[in-house]
Structure 1
Amino acid sequence: MAIPRKGSRLITVDGVAYRWRIRRKPTYGQAIGEGSLTFAIELAEGPGLVLLVSLPFSRPDVWVGERTMAVRPALVAEAVRMALG
Protein backbone atom coordinates (compact mmCIF):
# COMPACT_ATOMS: atom_id res chain seq x y z
CA MET A 1 0.00 0.00 0.00
CA ALA A 2 1.39 3.40 -0.96
CA ILE A 3 1.64 6.43 1.28
CA PRO A 4 -0.62 9.26 0.02
CA ARG A 5 1.18 12.37 -1.19
CA LYS A 6 -1.17 14.65 0.72
CA GLY A 7 -0.04 14.94 4.32
CA SER A 8 3.33 13.26 3.77
CA ARG A 9 6.77 14.83 3.95
CA LEU A 10 9.85 14.30 1.84
CA ILE A 11 13.25 13.54 3.30
CA THR A 12 16.56 12.73 1.63
CA VAL A 13 18.75 10.16 3.36
CA ASP A 14 22.19 9.48 1.90
CA GLY A 15 21.13 10.84 -1.50
CA VAL A 16 17.87 8.85 -1.76
CA ALA A 17 14.49 10.58 -1.50
CA TYR A 18 11.86 9.07 0.80
CA ARG A 19 8.31 10.01 1.75
CA TRP A 20 7.15 9.62 5.36
CA ARG A 21 3.89 10.13 7.18
CA ILE A 22 2.36 9.80 10.62
CA ARG A 23 -1.29 8.88 10.82
CA ARG A 24 -3.28 12.10 11.09
CA LYS A 25 -5.48 11.01 13.96
CA PRO A 26 -4.56 8.42 16.57
CA THR A 27 -6.38 5.13 16.79
CA TYR A 28 -8.42 4.71 19.96
CA GLY A 29 -5.71 2.54 21.53
CA GLN A 30 -3.04 5.11 20.71
CA ALA A 31 -5.19 7.96 22.03
CA ILE A 32 -5.61 6.39 25.46
CA GLY A 33 -1.91 5.60 25.69
CA GLU A 34 -2.01 1.84 25.03
CA GLY A 35 -0.49 1.92 21.54
CA SER A 36 2.87 3.23 20.47
CA LEU A 37 3.67 5.98 18.00
CA THR A 38 4.09 4.61 14.48
CA PHE A 39 4.97 6.15 11.14
CA ALA A 40 5.43 4.88 7.61
CA ILE A 41 8.33 5.44 5.17
CA GLU A 42 8.66 4.57 1.48
CA LEU A 43 10.72 5.57 -1.53
CA ALA A 44 9.48 8.85 -3.01
CA GLU A 45 9.86 7.65 -6.62
CA GLY A 46 6.84 5.41 -6.59
CA PRO A 47 4.79 2.99 -4.59
CA GLY A 48 6.61 -0.02 -3.31
CA LEU A 49 7.50 -1.55 0.01
CA VAL A 50 6.53 0.47 3.07
CA LEU A 51 8.63 0.50 6.22
CA LEU A 52 6.43 0.77 9.32
CA VAL A 53 8.34 2.11 12.33
CA SER A 54 6.98 1.68 15.87
CA LEU A 55 8.58 3.80 18.56
CA PRO A 56 8.67 2.80 22.25
CA PHE A 57 6.65 5.80 23.38
CA SER A 58 3.15 7.15 22.84
CA ARG A 59 1.97 9.88 20.48
CA PRO A 60 2.24 13.54 21.50
CA ASP A 61 -1.55 13.94 21.21
CA VAL A 62 -2.60 11.24 23.69
CA TRP A 63 -5.80 11.90 25.61
CA VAL A 64 -4.69 10.29 28.85
CA GLY A 65 -1.24 10.00 30.35
CA GLU A 66 2.07 11.63 29.81
CA ARG A 67 2.82 13.46 26.58
CA THR A 68 5.99 12.55 24.74
CA MET A 69 8.36 13.93 22.15
CA ALA A 70 7.51 14.76 18.54
CA VAL A 71 8.95 12.92 15.54
CA ARG A 72 11.64 14.99 13.83
CA PRO A 73 13.25 14.43 10.44
CA ALA A 74 16.50 13.36 12.13
CA LEU A 75 14.65 10.49 13.82
CA VAL A 76 13.10 9.44 10.50
CA ALA A 77 16.52 9.50 8.80
CA GLU A 78 18.00 7.36 11.57
CA ALA A 79 15.16 4.84 11.21
CA VAL A 80 15.86 4.57 7.48
CA ARG A 81 19.58 4.04 8.08
CA MET A 82 18.89 1.36 10.70
CA ALA A 83 16.49 -0.46 8.37
CA LEU A 84 19.01 -0.44 5.53
CA GLY A 85 21.88 -1.51 7.76
Structure 2
Amino acid sequence: MALVKKGSRRIVVDGVTYRWRVRHKPTYCQGNGWTPLAFAVEDATTPGTTLVVRADRPHPGNWFALPTQPVLPADVAQAIRTALAQGWMPLASGSPFRLELSSGSTTGTNTALARGLSA
Protein backbone atom coordinates (compact mmCIF):
# COMPACT_ATOMS: atom_id res chain seq x y z
CA MET A 1 0.00 0.00 0.00
CA ALA A 2 1.63 3.24 -1.12
CA LEU A 3 1.00 6.55 0.54
CA VAL A 4 -0.64 9.20 -1.63
CA LYS A 5 1.94 11.95 -2.25
CA LYS A 6 -0.58 14.77 -2.45
CA GLY A 7 -1.09 16.18 1.02
CA SER A 8 1.76 14.22 2.58
CA ARG A 9 4.46 15.89 4.65
CA ARG A 10 8.15 15.10 4.88
CA ILE A 11 9.91 14.42 8.16
CA VAL A 12 13.48 13.42 8.91
CA VAL A 13 13.94 11.06 11.85
CA ASP A 14 17.45 9.98 12.82
CA GLY A 15 18.77 10.90 9.37
CA VAL A 16 16.10 9.03 7.38
CA THR A 17 13.44 10.89 5.39
CA TYR A 18 9.83 9.70 5.69
CA ARG A 19 6.50 10.93 4.34
CA TRP A 20 3.41 10.99 6.53
CA ARG A 21 -0.22 11.88 6.02
CA VAL A 22 -3.43 12.22 8.00
CA ARG A 23 -6.63 11.44 6.12
CA HIS A 24 -8.23 14.81 5.34
CA LYS A 25 -11.83 13.71 5.81
CA PRO A 26 -12.69 11.38 8.67
CA THR A 27 -14.07 7.93 7.97
CA TYR A 28 -17.66 7.35 9.06
CA CYS A 29 -16.50 5.75 12.31
CA GLN A 30 -13.98 8.53 12.97
CA GLY A 31 -16.62 11.18 12.24
CA ASN A 32 -18.90 9.66 14.86
CA GLY A 33 -16.06 9.42 17.38
CA TRP A 34 -16.20 5.62 17.48
CA THR A 35 -12.61 5.14 16.31
CA PRO A 36 -9.64 7.45 16.80
CA LEU A 37 -7.53 9.41 14.37
CA ALA A 38 -5.05 7.42 12.28
CA PHE A 39 -2.11 8.50 10.16
CA ALA A 40 0.22 6.71 7.76
CA VAL A 41 4.02 6.87 7.39
CA GLU A 42 6.38 5.44 4.78
CA ASP A 43 9.99 5.81 3.68
CA ALA A 44 10.24 8.78 1.28
CA THR A 45 12.84 7.29 -1.05
CA THR A 46 11.83 3.63 -1.33
CA PRO A 47 8.23 3.01 -0.25
CA GLY A 48 7.85 -0.42 1.30
CA THR A 49 5.80 -1.38 4.33
CA THR A 50 3.49 1.42 5.43
CA LEU A 51 3.22 2.25 9.11
CA VAL A 52 -0.39 2.90 10.15
CA VAL A 53 -0.59 4.66 13.51
CA ARG A 54 -3.84 4.73 15.43
CA ALA A 55 -3.59 7.76 17.71
CA ASP A 56 -5.11 8.31 21.13
CA ARG A 57 -7.44 11.14 20.11
CA PRO A 58 -10.48 11.79 17.92
CA HIS A 59 -10.09 12.91 14.31
CA PRO A 60 -10.11 16.75 14.15
CA GLY A 61 -12.92 16.56 11.58
CA ASN A 62 -15.28 14.60 13.84
CA TRP A 63 -18.91 15.61 13.56
CA PHE A 64 -19.62 16.13 17.26
CA ALA A 65 -16.87 18.65 18.10
CA LEU A 66 -15.15 16.15 20.38
CA PRO A 67 -12.03 17.71 21.91
CA THR A 68 -8.92 16.76 20.00
CA GLN A 69 -5.38 17.83 19.21
CA PRO A 70 -3.56 18.00 15.89
CA VAL A 71 -0.86 15.49 15.01
CA LEU A 72 2.47 17.26 15.43
CA PRO A 73 5.73 16.29 13.75
CA ALA A 74 7.06 15.36 17.21
CA ASP A 75 4.19 12.85 17.54
CA VAL A 76 5.06 11.35 14.16
CA ALA A 77 8.76 11.13 15.02
CA GLN A 78 7.97 9.37 18.31
CA ALA A 79 5.64 6.93 16.54
CA ILE A 80 8.33 6.14 13.95
CA ARG A 81 10.95 5.48 16.65
CA THR A 82 8.51 3.29 18.59
CA ALA A 83 7.56 1.29 15.49
CA LEU A 84 11.19 0.78 14.50
CA ALA A 85 11.94 -0.49 18.01
CA GLN A 86 9.01 -2.91 17.72
CA GLY A 87 10.12 -4.36 14.40
CA TRP A 88 8.76 -2.15 11.62
CA MET A 89 10.95 -2.49 8.53
CA PRO A 90 10.03 0.43 6.26
CA LEU A 91 12.05 -0.78 3.26
CA ALA A 92 10.64 -4.32 3.23
CA SER A 93 7.51 -5.08 1.24
CA GLY A 94 4.50 -6.52 2.97
CA SER A 95 1.27 -5.69 4.73
CA PRO A 96 1.00 -2.48 6.75
CA PHE A 97 2.58 -2.43 10.21
CA ARG A 98 0.02 -1.18 12.70
CA LEU A 99 0.90 0.79 15.81
CA GLU A 100 -1.67 1.51 18.48
CA LEU A 101 -1.07 4.61 20.58
CA SER A 102 -3.29 4.67 23.62
CA SER A 103 -3.01 6.79 26.73
CA GLY A 104 0.40 5.88 28.09
CA SER A 105 1.00 2.64 26.19
CA THR A 106 2.06 1.64 22.70
CA THR A 107 1.44 -1.64 20.99
CA GLY A 108 2.75 -2.59 17.58
CA THR A 109 1.33 -5.40 15.53
CA ASN A 110 1.57 -6.63 11.99
CA THR A 111 -1.92 -8.11 11.95
CA ALA A 112 -5.18 -6.46 11.04
CA LEU A 113 -6.94 -4.56 13.80
CA ALA A 114 -10.55 -3.56 14.10
CA ARG A 115 -12.28 -1.39 11.51
CA GLY A 116 -11.53 2.29 11.06
CA LEU A 117 -7.76 2.24 10.52
CA SER A 118 -7.73 3.84 7.11
CA ALA A 119 -5.47 6.82 7.09
TM range, normalised to the smaller chain? over 0.9
In the alignment, structure 2 segments of 5+ residues that lack a partner are 86-119
Aligned partner of residue 29 in structure 1, secondary structure: helix
The alignment yields a C-alpha RMSD, in angstroms, of: 1.0
**2 CA distance for matches of 1:46 and 1:4?**
14
**1 CA distance for matches of 2:73 and 2:8?**
12
Q: Is the 8 A contact 1:33 1:65 kept in 2?
A: no
Greater CA drift, 66-75 or 10-19:
66-75
Q: Deviations over 1:24-81 (max 9, x none)?
A: 1101110011111000000000221000000122111211152201000000000001
Q: Is the 8 A contact 1:59 1:67 kept in 2?
A: no
Runs of 4+ in 1 over 3 A off after TM superposition: none
Q: Is the 8 A contact 1:32 1:65 kept in 2?
A: no
Counterparts of 1:1-85 in structure 2, within 5 Å, are 1-85=1-85
Question: TM-score by structure 1 length?
Answer: 0.94
Report % sequence identity. Answer: 51
Higher share of residues assigned helix: 1
Offset, 1:21: 0.4
**1 CA distance for matches of 2:15 and 2:74?**
15
Question: TM-score by structure 2 length?
Answer: 0.68
Q: Report the AA paired with residue 31 of structure 2.
A: A
Aligned partner of residue 6 in structure 1, secondary structure: coil
Residues paired across the two proteins, number: 85
Matched residue, 2:103: none
**1 CA distance for matches of 2:41 and 2:65?**
27
Aligned partner of residue 69 in structure 1, secondary structure: coil
